[in-house]
Amino acid sequence: MNKLELLEFLEDNARLTPEEIAVMLQTDPGEVRRVIQELEENKTILKYITLVDWEKAGEEKVSALIEVRITPQRDVGFDAVARRISRFPEVRSVRLMSGAYDLAVFIEGRTMREVSHFVATKLATIEGVVSTTTHFVLKTYKQDGVIVDDGEEDRRLMVTP
């Protein structure tokens, strides 16, 4: 069985059943279950998620990208600071970057003030953090491969037999 194809199917739609995947891969559902369990145990599959449009759900959330410049530590480089930042519940994602800054930290809060407070009191005060630049997300057009709201109706012509 092609594990990469299985992973692509699940990444696109985590609600697929092993039976549905087995049909697409032309294999046995039991084999699909076994491979999925193996991929979960070895942490290839990290999590199954539901992507929510919180604005439509009536919940206001503020997201921000924070560019963080840090001083690498002897023997561990950027990893120790990145792991420390990752432990905060406000932090959604931390990525090591090339270019003008070292880490891209994506956080979420209820208000801009809450996000600003996090940056000022928790993030910027970490030993090794040299500087931060905060960019607030104003609108999301596409997230995790999904167009959030394109504002257009389906303009395809209906085909009838």
* pTM for this prediction: 0.81
Q: Going by C-beta distance under 8 Å and a sequence separation of 6 or more, which residues neighbour residue 38? A: none
Contact yes or no for 2/31 (Cβ under 8 A): no
The DSSP string of 68-89 is: EEEPPBTTTBTHHHHHHHHTST
Residues 6+ apart with CB under 8 A from 55: none
pLDDT tens sequence across 48-94 = 988 888 888 899 899 999 999 999 988 888 999 999 999 999 999 99
Cα distance between residue 95 and residue 104, in whole Å: 5
Higher per-residue confidence, 160 vs 140:
140
Query: With contact defined as beta carbons under 8 Å apart, do 17 and 2 qualify?
Result: no
- Indicate the average pLDDT of the chain: 92
User: Where in the chain are the domains?
Assistant: 3-41, 62-139
DSSP string, 93-116: EEEE-SSS-SEEEEEEESSHHHHH
Span 113-121, average pLDDT: 97
Residue 146's pLDDT band, with cuts at 50, 70 and 90, is confident
Q: How far apart are the C-alpha atoms of 84 and 106, rounded to whole Å?
A: 14
The answer on pLDDT for 19 being more than 90 is yes
d(CA 124, CA 87): 15
Name the CATH code of domain 62-139 (choices 3.30.70.920, 2.70.98.10, 3.40.50.720, 3.30.465.10): 3.30.70.920
pLDDT band at 144 (very low <50, low <70, confident <90, very high): confident
Residue 150 has pLDDT above 90, yes or no: no
The pLDDT assigned to 148 comes to: 87
